[in-house]
Amino acid sequence: MDSEPIAQADTSFDPAIVSWVGAFQFKLLAFVFFIFLLLNTDVYYSLVLSTVPGAVSPNQQPTTKGTVLTGLALVGCAAVADVFVRHGLV
């Protein structure tokens, strides 16, 4: 035979799962979820979003414009939270 035998590969999923879960920043995920909860409250709709014309309907529900603005606020807050977590401020 002119080739070497193939070594048995480790087929365990444990190292893959541990490295995959270890890559998540759970503190950042928790902050983003908390920000999401705050941005979906009636207080945010009535005090912040209602100051933008056309962002809230008369029954205090966000319009398409309000939903886009809320999404942009979530992305901006998530970016700030990411900076805080990466620099160890929280």
For residue 52, what are the β-bridge partners? none
Q: Where are the domains of the chain?
A: 25-86
Give me the pLDDT at residue 32, please.
93
Burial group, residue 78, by CB count within 10 angstroms (0-12, 13-18, 19+): middle
Tokens encoding 4: 């070497």
Tens-digit pLDDT profile for residues 66-90: 999 999 999 999 999 999 988 988 7
pLDDT(1) > 60: no
Query: String of b and e for 19-50 (b: at least 16 CB within 10 Å)?
Result: eeeeeeeeebeebbeebeeebeeeebbeebbe
Tens-digit pLDDT profile for residues 18-61: 676 666 788 889 999 999 999 999 999 999 999 999 999 998 89
